[in-house]
Chains A and B, each alone.
Chain A
């Protein structure tokens, strides 16, 4: 199961990198979303994938470690907030700058 997850995470990172290297702003934002999904999956996998037991000590069954889930929850909320902000910013920048092409967003102020 861990090996399968490693492939899933790898594919997520791969697509994220591909999308983030493109010029369109929207694709880049989708890329950051995939990147954080990959990172969240990685925490889950790294905490150990055990099935069927409650995260309680003292039972006889091997217990599940609850911490990775708590971490993921926090990280998901944060990345949700950042993505929402990023999308709004991208829309505003598109209105203001008239482009979503990263090539045309180079700044040259103060470079002389």
Chain B
């Protein structure tokens, strides 16, 4: 099929439109949304296999040829991320059935949910820098709706800050694209890469470096790297658990993906300044995230700060720019999407039971909810990267790549951070699950069994992803090779150009 790679974008779009018309019929909405996301998972799995067999897939929209029209490009990295997104979307959807509440379901929750997936999948798939901006906006618009839906005071207050930050970063995105367009005169990402190579000849002009840093600021604001993560702990604190899981697993990762894409495809000529800066910011993100994760006594805050740590670790791998470290980064990126979604969903269950996210007010949960306790324990080990669970291989490769690039202190900090991540997450386990059991108001009303379905599946995926990394590795390696050799990407997009 020629138009195969547009389907993971098209299916949630059509579903979202349909769901608007079915807003008041909740069961119908659930069925439509559920079935469409299962179809999306199957199709994106087939897409991964197609990319594996036939190489990079491209689609020139409306048959405008590559450098002129908008091109959608599915290389291994985007195909894998689209697959992961589809899986997480489906599981968050199932979780929402029993936790989001009728009021939200009637007010276009599922429609906004699907539009968010449109934006995320689109951002992963597009091969056009301005189209990337458009998909960012689709994603952000849906995220504004999901963030504010419910209308609690905290949500309204935090939405204002979130929108303000994103409006500014979007304006900067437009500015960065304008500068880039004035220098290279094209918007197709592969073509931009060619033009920058021609302009550079070993030593790129200063304006390219300026644009690189501008893009780092834009995507850094979305991806929450140091010093631009300031908005995240507040804004992500407000929405309910499934929305938080979607945001934590997908939104920041789109920023990380965009940094990876631009820094491996466009700005790889003069790594002396830009990649040094990236690696410094990545290390600082890890440190800042670790401090936050250890300092707070609030379940949500601890996991939110863990997002920042993961973003730092992934970007450190990207900044080292060796095939090993890029493989590690992609491995860790997918691991982190899965495990963060699992942790946020589990945290949602704990909060639903206890009625609070303050660890001082929770204890002894394992007595009544052993399944919840052990699932959380495995997820925590996977997050910290205990072998053979999924975090281990990625981090191993990132650190290996860091040593190969002679980034000793950086690799050391990534290594040390694992220990502190384990400490921060075990703090939740020890304080929340051990100790004397307490009685919580209204805990019997929480459908724990049904809510456990999604996080258990996610943790099982994480376990297999780690234990079966031998089978996953060829796919990830193919993705990393495309990143390490931009020529593959360019050739696939521009053909005989």
Asked if A74 lies at the interface with its beta carbon under 8 angstroms from chain B, I say yes
Asked if A59 lies at the interface with its beta carbon under 8 angstroms from chain B, I say no
In the assembled complex, the CB of B299 is this many whole angstroms from the nearest CB of chain A, namely 9
Interchain CA distance A85-B153 in the complex, whole Å? 17
Interchain CA distance A93-B153 in the complex, whole Å? 8
Interface size on B, as a range, is 35 or more
| B156 with A97: CB separation less than 8 A | yes
Asked if B452 lies at the interface with its beta carbon under 8 angstroms from chain A, I say no
Interchain CA distance A2-B210 in the complex, whole Å? 20
B171's partner among A35, A85, A107 (CB-CB below 8 A) is A35
- Asked if A46 meets B237 with Cβ closer than 8 Å, knowing A110-B358, A112-B297, the reply is no
- Asked if A97 meets B179 with Cβ closer than 8 Å, knowing A86-B167, A107-B234, the reply is no
List residues of chain B with CB within 8 A of the CB of A35.
167-168, 171
| A71 with B177: CB separation less than 8 A | yes
Interchain CA distance A71-B176 in the complex, whole Å? 13
B163's partner among A36, A46, A82 (CB-CB below 8 A) is A82
In the assembled complex, the CB of B384 is this many whole angstroms from the nearest CB of chain A, namely 22
> Restricting to B178-208, which residues have a CB under 8 Å from any CB of A?
178-179, 181-182, 187
Asked if A14 lies at the interface with its beta carbon under 8 angstroms from chain B, I say no
Interchain CA distance A78-B157 in the complex, whole Å? 22
Q: Helix, strand, loop or mixed for chain B's interface?
A: helix
Interface size on A, as a range, is 35 or more
In the assembled complex, the CB of B245 is this many whole angstroms from the nearest CB of chain A, namely 17
> Restricting to B109-135, which residues have a CB under 8 Å from any CB of A?
130, 133-134
| A42 with B175: CB separation less than 8 A | yes
B160's partner among A36, A68, A93, A111 (CB-CB below 8 A) is A93
B156's partner among A45, A46, A93 (CB-CB below 8 A) is A93
List residues of chain B with CB within 8 A of the CB of A85.
141, 144, 163
| A38 with B171: CB separation less than 8 A | yes
List residues of chain A with CB within 8 A of the CB of B234.
107
Interchain CA distance A28-B161 in the complex, whole Å? 11
In the assembled complex, the CB of B349 is this many whole angstroms from the nearest CB of chain A, namely 18
Interchain CA distance A68-B174 in the complex, whole Å? 11
> Restricting to A1-39, which residues have a CB under 8 Å from any CB of B?
20, 25, 28, 32, 35-36, 38-39
| B237 with A107: CB separation less than 8 A | yes
| A46 with B154: CB separation less than 8 A | no
Asked if B404 lies at the interface with its beta carbon under 8 angstroms from chain A, I say no
Interchain CA distance A105-B162 in the complex, whole Å? 13
In the assembled complex, the CB of A23 is this many whole angstroms from the nearest CB of chain B, namely 12
Interchain CA distance A74-B157 in the complex, whole Å? 29
| B157 with A28: CB separation less than 8 A | no
List residues of chain A with CB within 8 A of the CB of B238.
107
| B237 with A90: CB separation less than 8 A | no
A46's partner among B148, B170, B181 (CB-CB below 8 A) is B181
| A36 with B157: CB separation less than 8 A | no
- Asked if A82 meets B141 with Cβ closer than 8 Å, knowing A36-B174, A38-B171, the reply is yes
| A39 with B175: CB separation less than 8 A | yes
A65-86, CB under 8 A of B: which get 1 and which 0?
Answer: 0011001001100110110011
Asked if A55 lies at the interface with its beta carbon under 8 angstroms from chain B, I say no
Which A-chain residue is minimally distant from B140 (CB atoms)?
A82
In the assembled complex, the CB of A101 is this many whole angstroms from the nearest CB of chain B, namely 12
Interchain CA distance A20-B156 in the complex, whole Å? 18
Asked if A103 lies at the interface with its beta carbon under 8 angstroms from chain B, I say no
| A110 with B237: CB separation less than 8 A | yes
- Asked if A110 meets B178 with Cβ closer than 8 Å, knowing A89-B156, A105-B157, A105-B160, the reply is no
In the assembled complex, the CB of B489 is this many whole angstroms from the nearest CB of chain A, namely 22
In the assembled complex, the CB of A110 is this many whole angstroms from the nearest CB of chain B, namely 4
Asked if B400 lies at the interface with its beta carbon under 8 angstroms from chain A, I say no
In the assembled complex, the CB of A104 is this many whole angstroms from the nearest CB of chain B, namely 9
List residues of chain B with CB within 8 A of the CB of A20.
164, 168
Asked if B481 lies at the interface with its beta carbon under 8 angstroms from chain A, I say no
List residues of chain A with CB within 8 A of the CB of B437.
none
Which A-chain residue is minimally distant from B144 (CB atoms)?
A85
Asked if B300 lies at the interface with its beta carbon under 8 angstroms from chain A, I say yes
| B237 with A109: CB separation less than 8 A | yes
List residues of chain A with CB within 8 A of the CB of B170.
36, 78-79, 82
List residues of chain A with CB within 8 A of the CB of B156.
89, 92-93, 96-97
A97's partner among B137, B140, B157, B296 (CB-CB below 8 A) is B157
| A32 with B164: CB separation less than 8 A | yes
Which B-chain residue is minimally distant from A70 (CB atoms)?
B130
B87-111, CB under 8 A of A: which get 1 and which 0?
Answer: 0000000000000000000000000
Which residues in B have some Cβ–Cβ distance to A below 8 Å? 130, 133-134, 137, 140-141, 144, 148, 151, 153-154, 156-161, 163-164, 167-168, 170-172, 174-175, 177-179, 181-182, 187, 234, 237-238, 296-298, 300-301, 357-358
14 residue pairs of the A-B complex, CB under 8 angstroms, read A32-B167, A36-B167, A36-B170, A39-B171, A39-B175, A75-B174, A85-B163, A89-B159, A92-B156, A93-B157, A107-B237, A107-B238, A109-B154, A110-B300
Besides the contacts A89-B163, A109-B237, what 11 more A-B pairs have beta carbons closer than 8 Å? A32-B171, A36-B167, A36-B170, A42-B175, A48-B182, A67-B181, A68-B178, A85-B144, A92-B156, A110-B296, A111-B298
Identify the 9 closest CB pairs spanning chains A and B, nearest first.
A46-B182, A110-B298, A39-B174, A93-B156, A46-B178, A43-B178, A39-B171, A32-B167, A35-B171
